[in-house]
Amino acid sequence: MLVIVKNDYEEMSKEAAQIVADRLHKKPNLVLGLATGSTPLGLYKELIRMHKEEGLDFSKVTTFNLDEYVGLPPGHDQSYHYFMHENFFKHINIPDGSVNIPDGLVSDIDAFCDWYEEEIRKAGGIDLQILGIGSNGHIAFNEPGSSLGSRTRVKTLTEKTRQDNARFFKSPHEVPKYAITMGIGTIMDAKEQILLANDANKADAVKAAVEGPLTGQCPASVIQLHRKTFVIVTKDAAVKLSGSYPGTWKSSFMLEQ
């Protein structure tokens, strides 16, 4: 993995956006895995700017989102459908039919999850996956204790995750208890990954993911097994790392030319 420590959130976001843009220039029909939450907002903002000011073209891109709350309709202001359309999709030239987000209202969740996996496979797999990290080390909604080989499925959210997300809802009681999420095995199938973290409260999770043991108790630690992962973090999020990482290789791989 390549660990890159940036001074602040803006620098982190622009670094990530440059990688996405580079891959998109090389492969116009890029299959892009997307995350929600506050962390990737700066990345999406920069990609929107690149689209509007530099002509970055998303017309042939296919996207797959990591997760969605069970029970929230797409129009709910805290659904991830709503989040992605308001903060990214409606500002770029991606066709509606090329956007894939888990459906939290399906009656047969198991069948839907199998279908979602098949759609990823039919698209040729995810070329570049964007990831955040929870303060407990979760990626997507794969909570501590999740199988490292898991596929898309429904998960019960931990109380810690529900507390972390309660700030987005009018009341903590409104936070859903379940979510459909890509599994860790699904995420690891992506050809490349970018994991972002920018808050000091993520410092323990970042250290566990990058330098800790590989364990289901920190699902993000699985990135240590991935061949091409960029870990782009701010100084605040990197404060507990013991190594010296700014712009250096933790383990080497060659960037595509």
Task: List pLDDT tens digits, range 30-76.
Answer: 999 999 999 999 999 999 999 999 999 999 999 999 999 999 999 99
Strands 2-6 and 229-234: parallel
Residues in the chain: 257
Q: Is 243 helix (H, G, I), strand (E, B) or coil?
A: coil
CA dihedral sign of residues 131, 176, 117, 146: positive
On whether the CB atoms of residues 5 and 233 are closer than 8 A, the answer is yes
pLDDT at 254 over 60: no
Active-site annotation holds for 143: yes
- Which amino acid makes up residue 78? Q
Active-site annotation holds for 136: yes
Supply the pLDDT for residue 241: 93
**Dihedral (C-alpha) 220, 222, 224, 229: value to the nearest 10 degrees?**
-70
Annotated catalytic residue, options 46, 143, 164, 236: 143
Supply the pLDDT for residue 175: 86
Q: Is 174 helix (H, G, I), strand (E, B) or coil?
A: helix
Active-site annotation holds for 142: no
CA atoms within 13 A on the CB side of 37: 27
**For residues 172 and 48, what is the distance between their CA atoms, to the nearest angstrom?**
32
> Rounded to whole angstroms, what are the CA distances from 191 to 24, 68, 179?
14, 23, 25
Annotated catalytic residue, options 136, 142, 165, 198: 136
Confidence of residue 245 (pLDDT cuts 50, 70, 90): low
In the chain, what percentage of residues exceed pLDDT 70?
94
Which is higher by pLDDT, 156 or 126? 126
Supply the pLDDT for residue 257: 25
Confidence of residue 248 (pLDDT cuts 50, 70, 90): very low
pTM for this entry? 0.91
pLDDT tens per residue across span 75-125: 999 999 999 999 999 999 999 999 999 999 999 999 999 999 999 999 999
**For residues 158 and 82, what is the distance between their CA atoms, to the nearest angstrom?**
23
Annotated catalytic residue, options 51, 81, 138, 226: 138
**For residues 138 and 67, what is the distance between their CA atoms, to the nearest angstrom?**
12
Q: Which fold has domain 2-249?
A: Rossmann fold (3.40.50)
Annotated catalytic residue, options 15, 67, 127, 189: 67
> Rounded to whole angstroms, what are the CA distances from 169 to 33, 39, 76, 200?
25, 17, 11, 23
Domain ranges of the chain: 2-249
